[in-house]
Structure 1
Amino acid sequence: MSLSRRDMIAAGAALAALPAAARAVRPPNIILIVADDLGWGDLGCYGSPFIRTPHLDRLANAGVRMTDFYASANVCTPSRAGMLTGRYPIRTGLAHEVITVKDRHGLPLSEVTIAEALKPGYATMLAGKWHLGHAAPHWPPMVHGFDAFAGIPYSNDMRPLSFFRSRADGTLAEEPVVQERLTDQFFDAGIDFIRASAARPFFLMLTPSAPHIPLRPGKAFAGRSDAGSYGDVVEELDAAVGRLVAALKGAGLERDTLILFTSDNGPWFEGSAGPAQGRKGGAGWDGGYLVPLIASWPGTLRPRVTDAIAMNIDLLPTLCTLAGAPLPPVTLDGRDLSGVWRRGAASPHEQLILFNNERVAALRTPRWKFVGRSYYRSYNVPLAAIGYPLLFDVTRDPGETINLAARQPEVMADLSARFIAARDSFEPLGLRQVPDFLPSAS
Structure 2
Amino acid sequence: MGSKMIAFFALIAVAFVRASPPNFVLIFGDDLGYGDLGCFGHPSSLTPNLDRLAANGLRFTDFYVTSPVCSPSRAALLTGRYQTRSGIYPGVLYPSSIGGLPLNETTIAEVLKSKGYSTAMVGKWHLGVGANGAYLPTRQGFDNYLGIPYSHDQGSCQNLSCFPPDVKCFGRCDQGVVTVPLMLGDTIKQQPADFLKIEKSYGDFASQFIRVAAQNERPFFLYYPSHHTHYPQYAGEEYAGKSLRGPFGDALMEFDGTIGKILQTLMETDVINNTLVFFTSDNGPELMRRSRGGNSGLLKCGKGTTYEGGMREPAVAYWPGLIQPGVTHALSSSLDILPTFAKLAGASLPEVQLDGVEMTNILFNLGPSKRETMFYYPTDPSEKYSVFAVRWGKYKAHYYTRGATHSETTPDQDCSLFAFQKYHDPPLLFDLEADPSENYNLTGPDWDPVRTKITVLKEQFEATMVFGESEIGKGKDPTLEPCCTPECSPKPDCCRCNSEL
**What is the TM-score when the length of structure 2 is the normalising length?**
0.78
Q: Show CA shifts across 1:118-154 (max 9, x none).
A: 1131000111111001113642211111001100110
For the pair 1:129 / 2:169, whether they are aligned, the reply is no
Output the CA distance in 1 between the equivalents of 2:97 and 2:226: 22
For the pair 1:95 / 2:89, whether they are aligned, the reply is yes
- Please give the secondary structure, in 1, of the residue aligned with 2:151: coil
Report the CA distance between 1:254 and its aligned residue.
Answer: 1.2
2:280 aligns with 262
Decide which of 18, 27, 33 is 1:33's aligned counterpart: 27
2:391 aligns with 364
Distance 1:304 1:90, change over 3 A: same
Output the CA distance in 1 between the equivalents of 2:140 and 2:344: 21
> Which deviates more, 402-411 or 84-93?
402-411
Q: Which ranges of 4 or more aligned residues in structure 1 deviate by more than 6 Å?
A: 21-24
Decide which of 272, 275, 280 is 2:298's aligned counterpart: 275
Native 8 Å contact 1:183 1:209 kept in 2: no
Output the CA distance in 2 between the equivalents of 1:110 and 1:24: 28
Distance 1:432 1:152, change over 3 A: closer
Counterparts of 1:199-218 in structure 2, within 5 Å, are 199-218=217-236
Decide which of 331, 342, 353 is 2:353's aligned counterpart: 331
Decide which of 42, 45, 48 is 1:48's aligned counterpart: 42
Output the CA distance in 1 between the equivalents of 2:17 and 2:62: 34
Unaligned segments of structure 1, at least 5 residues: 1-20, 435-442
Question: Matched residues, percent identical?
Answer: 38
Counterparts of 1:233-272 in structure 2, within 5 Å, are 233-269=251-287, 270-272=293-295
- Please give the secondary structure, in 1, of the residue aligned with 2:91: coil
Count matched residues. Answer: 407
1:437 aligns with none
Output the CA distance in 2 between the equivalents of 1:60 and 1:164: 32
- Please give the secondary structure, in 2, of the residue aligned with 1:408: helix
Counterparts of 1:278-317 in structure 2, within 5 Å, are 278-282=301-305, 284-317=306-339
Decide which of 142, 148, 153 is 1:152's aligned counterpart: 148
Output the CA distance in 2 between the equivalents of 1:369 and 1:277: 13
Report the CA distance between 1:388 and its aligned residue.
Answer: 4.8
Decide which of 447, 450, 466 is 1:411's aligned counterpart: 450
Matched residue type, 2:456: A
Q: Show CA shifts across 1:212-262 (max 9, x none).
A: 111111122222222221111111111111111111111111111111111
Decide which of 163, 166, 172 is 2:187's aligned counterpart: 172
Distance 1:37 1:378, change over 3 A: same
Native 8 Å contact 1:360 1:427 kept in 2: no
Matched residue type, 1:353: F
Output the CA distance in 1 between the equivalents of 2:428 and 2:310: 17
Native 8 Å contact 1:371 1:390 kept in 2: yes
1:438 aligns with none
Native 8 Å contact 1:125 1:147 kept in 2: yes
Matched residue type, 2:395: W
For the pair 1:60 / 2:99, whether they are aligned, the reply is no
Unaligned segments of structure 2, at least 5 residues: 1-14, 156-177, 288-292, 404-416, 474-501
Q: Show CA shifts across 1:304-362 (max 9, x none).
A: 20010111010000000111111111111000001101001111111111111213111
For the pair 1:114 / 2:154, whether they are aligned, the reply is no
For the pair 1:381 / 2:403, whether they are aligned, the reply is no
Decide which of 142, 162, 167 is 2:181's aligned counterpart: 162
Report the CA distance between 1:102 and its aligned residue.
Answer: 2.4
Report the CA distance between 1:85 and its aligned residue.
Answer: 0.3
1:11 aligns with none
**What is the TM-score when the length of structure 1 is the normalising length?**
0.88
Distance 1:33 1:433, change over 3 A: closer
Native 8 Å contact 2:89 2:472 kept in 1: no
